[in-house]
Amino acid sequence: MHRERAMTDDPSRTANRTAASNADSDADSHAERHAKAQAGGQAGSDADLAAGPDNPDPSQAGLSNAGLGALAYISGFGNEIETEALPGALPQGRNNPQRCAYGLYAEQLSGSAFTAPRSANKRSWLYRIRPSVRRMSRFSPIDLPYWKTAPHILKDVASFAPARWDPIPLPRTPTTFIEGIRTMTTAGDCHMQTGMAAHLYAATADMTDEYFFNADGEMLIAPELGALRIRTEFGVLDAAPGEIAVLPRGVVFSVEIPGDDKKARGYICENYGAAFTLPERGPIGANGLANPRDFKTPVARFEEKDAPCALTLKWCGGFHRAEIAHSPLDVVAWHGNYAPYKYDLSTFSPMGAALFDHPDPSIFTVLTAPSETPGTANADFVIFPPRWMVAEDTFRPPWYHRNVMSEFMGLIRGRYDAKEEGFVPGGASLHNLMTPHGPDAEAFDKASAVALAPMKLDDTMAFMFETRLPQQMTQFAASGDHRQDDYADCWAGLEKKFDGTPGGKP
């Protein structure tokens, strides 16, 4: 038997709604629900899910497994959300009633300690066909040899050296998303729940009846080539190049590559530490950078599939696999604030210099995973999007730089302004703890002489995984064919211009 459902059959009742705009507004959600009931509507009316590109007409929402069509999402970051794929599946007014509707099992998924402060408390309640514990037996270790976990320190690898890589080729044999992950760097220690890993992925096959969860960290996925359809316990989300998807620690998922042309490549930040959140804006104010409304969480959708499947988990760097007899994506309804989400990078509202100087790149932080030291990230996700450059009397590309934070960069589209050549979409670079870096000779000469009219940097989308911890290169990164042996030569043309005169050499 295989059934898949996203929403109620009854178009008069759409069962997906955002209960509150933040974790402290539970009371408002109840008041709102009562107000709707008083007005004669049911809990969750059509008005809660307006039709649109991401929220199609509820009556037309996919109910079959013959293609999902446009997916439905709920807008907002870190919200308390409630969503159900069958009417009445979600208990009201309590989390674990004596008997759940439809014979479902109630299960809490905690992404933070029970006692974490409200602002950092992450948990969701899932109402599912079978409890997850039903699948926890007869695991066997398996090998995914290219996926490494911190600590993974190779003494003979010079991770401090500036490094740059070409894109990795797509596999010639069918390779799933999970099989296609290649670790470039690791930082910190997953056992201490601190640090991160930077991975590339290259995949050519769907995870058919294959499911996965990662106990070691959350996964921020940035496609560069080809879209991904990510089926999760919480619902289904698509992520195309130019978008990111974030899968919280422990969430079960399966990845498909839509279309006949099975080619997918991109980047992953595996964050072992506290969950990504939005950075503070300080004097910027209440709007700008990544706006909360542009984050999208999928609505509940479940698979009722009683067929041979497999579940693989990653736990403290090891991989284990079990044969199971059903799909684990069997959550019919859920509520809470711990769930996967996606974000379109083109909705980032960049801030920049309005008169002079190149600002610190932290101004482009999309998401930050804090450490215990205020303002010092365990991991930051930073982008360099299209934007206007208007600064007067300013060397406009990034300045020369040494940094206690370590910087892994990738390029999703176009070119990056500090490197005119050699850094291409799908490629990567690493500038580690206290490793000097900056524009190459060509970029320096050009930016030093260019007429400073307002100029738009267009057709570009670079990003950075930045961490306070040093990043250790894997063997795959250090000696793979894709490493550019001559990267440091890009600075060789930076000649001495000092000649003792105020103007220097021309």
Is the backbone of residue 40 left (phi > 0), alpha (psi -120 to 50) or beta?
left
Strand partners, 271: 196, 218
User: Please, what is the minimum distance in Å from the beta carbon of residue 364 to Fe ion?
Assistant: 12
Three-class SS of residue 20?
Answer: strand
User: Please, what is the minimum distance in Å from the beta carbon of residue 386 to Fe ion?
Assistant: 20
User: Please, what is the minimum distance in Å from the beta carbon of residue 163 to Fe ion?
Assistant: 14
Do 277 and 370 meet the contact criterion of CB atoms below 8 Å apart? yes
Query: Which position among 30, 191, 358, 401 bears the catalytic label?
Result: 358
Task: Give the E-state strand segments of 306-396 in sequence order.
Answer: 309-315, 318-324, 331-336, 341-344, 365-370, 377-384, 387-389
Task: Measure the CA–CA gap between 197 and 185, rounded to whole angstroms.
Answer: 6
Task: Measure the CA–CA gap between 346 and 113, rounded to whole angstroms.
Answer: 34
- Of 11 and 436, CB closest to Fe ion: 436
- Of 36 and 401, CB closest to Fe ion: 401
User: Please, what is the minimum distance in Å from the beta carbon of residue 368 to Fe ion?
Assistant: 16
The residue of the chain with the least Cβ separation from Fe ion equals 401
Strand partners, 335: 82, 125
- Of 331 and 383, CB closest to Fe ion: 383
- Of 128 and 431, CB closest to Fe ion: 431
- Of 254 and 429, CB closest to Fe ion: 429
Closest to 2 in 3D by CA, of 311, 333, 312, 308: 308
- Of 187 and 252, CB closest to Fe ion: 187
Closest to 308 in 3D by CA, of 335, 327, 334: 327
290 contact partners, CB below 8 Å, separation of at least 6: 77, 278, 343, 347, 348, 349, 366, 367
User: Please, what is the minimum distance in Å from the beta carbon of residue 284 to Fe ion?
Assistant: 21
- Of 402 and 456, CB closest to Fe ion: 402
| Cα distance between the two ends of the chain | 77
Residue type, 319: F
- Of 5 and 437, CB closest to Fe ion: 437
Distance of CA 361 to the CA centre of its chain: 19
Three-class SS of residue 2?
Answer: strand
Q: How crowded is residue 39: how many other Cβ atoms within 10 Å of its Cβ?
A: 8
Closest to 221 in 3D by CA, of 251, 188, 198, 254: 198
User: Please, what is the minimum distance in Å from the beta carbon of residue 288 to Fe ion?
Assistant: 23
User: Please, what is the minimum distance in Å from the beta carbon of residue 324 to Fe ion?
Assistant: 45
- Of 247 and 379, CB closest to Fe ion: 379
Task: Measure the CA–CA gap between 38 and 287, rounded to whole angstroms.
Answer: 34
3-state secondary structure labels for all residues of 65-122 = CCCCCCCCEEECCCCEEEEECCCCCCCCCCCCCCCCHHHCEEEEEECCCCCCCHHHCC
Of the CA atoms within 13 Å of residue 410, those in its CB half-sphere come to: 26
Do 144 and 178 meet the contact criterion of CB atoms below 8 Å apart? yes
Of the CA atoms within 13 Å of residue 123, those in its CB half-sphere come to: 14
Residue type, 195: G
89 contact partners, CB below 8 Å, separation of at least 6: 15, 100, 101, 102, 104, 127, 300, 332, 333
User: Please, what is the minimum distance in Å from the beta carbon of residue 466 to Fe ion?
Assistant: 8
- Of 84 and 407, CB closest to Fe ion: 407
User: Please, what is the minimum distance in Å from the beta carbon of residue 187 to Fe ion?
Assistant: 16
Task: Measure the CA–CA gap between 221 and 270, rounded to whole angstroms.
Answer: 9
User: Please, what is the minimum distance in Å from the beta carbon of residue 490 to Fe ion?
Assistant: 15
Q: Exposed (0-12), middle (13-18) or buried (19+): which is 121, by Cβ within 10 Å?
A: middle
358 tagged catalytic: yes
Catalog residues that contact Fe ion under the rule CB under 5 A.
401, 407
Enzyme catalytic residues = 358
